[in-house]
């Protein structure tokens, strides 16, 4: 017979209290900026999730919210620089690069 509760209690008893007190946040979703494109161009993350923009080009880029969309933006990212942003609110966030306005991307927070 399957009895899940006693088994769970045994597992929890074996985990040190410090591990339970400090849950590890899920890893940030990485959006690479490479060859004048955001890759992937569209991502879906959970509420409270993080996105790391990593500039792999030699040229500076930004991820800047389009008009009507509100988030911090990255500011100027030089070659090999990255910036991690946290998205606390559900919604759709469209962004572009200030220096190359045809570069566009979208973050959906569920
Ligand atoms: Cu750019």
What would the pLDDT profile of 53-72 be if each residue is shown by its tens digit? Answer: 999 999 999 999 999 999 99
Tokens 């040229």, residue located: 59
Task: Judge whether 15 lies within some domain.
Answer: no
Cα 75 to ligand 1 centroid, rounded to whole Å: 11
Q: Please report whether residue 16 resides in a domain.
A: no
Ligand 1 center to 62 CA (angstroms):
6
Region for 41 from its dihedrals, namely left if φ exceeds 0, alpha if ψ lies in -120 to 50, beta otherwise? alpha
* Alpha carbons 18 and 21: distance in angstroms, whole number: 5
Task: Decide if 58 is inside a domain.
Answer: yes
Residue 18 to residue 6: CA distance in whole angstroms: 22
Q: Dump pLDDT digits (tens) for 73-104.
A: 999 999 999 999 999 999 999 999 999 999 99
Query: Does 4 reside within a domain?
Result: no
Determine contact, residues 56/69, Cβ cutoff 8 Å. no
Task: Report the number of distinct structural domains present in the chain.
Answer: 1
Encode pLDDT of 8-55 as tens digits. Answer: 455 455 655 666 677 777 799 999 999 999 999 999 999 999 999 999
Q: Does residue 82 belong to any structural domain of this protein?
A: yes
Q: What are phi and psi of 54, to 5 degrees?
A: -125, 120
CATH of the domain at 62: 2.60.40.420
Partners of residue 108 on adjacent β-strands: 44, 92
Cα(59) to centroid(ligand 1), Å: 7
What domain range includes position 30? Answer: 24-109
Residues in the 5 Å CB sphere of ion ligand 1? 61, 97, 99-100, 103
């Amino acid at each position: 017979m399957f009895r899940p509760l006693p088994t769970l209690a045994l597992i929890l008893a074996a985990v040190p209290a410090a591990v339970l007190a400090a849950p590890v946040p899920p890893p940030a979703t990485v959006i690479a900026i490479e060859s004048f494109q955001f890759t992937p161009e569209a991502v879906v993350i959970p509420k409270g999730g993080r996105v790391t923009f990593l500039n792999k080009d030699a040229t500076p880029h930004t991820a800047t919210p389009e008009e009507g969309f509100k988030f911090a933006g990255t500011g100027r990212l030089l070659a090999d620089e990255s910036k991690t942003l946290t998205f606390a609110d559900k919604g759709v966030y469209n962004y572009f690069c200030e220096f190359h306005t045809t570069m566009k991307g979208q973050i959906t927070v569920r």
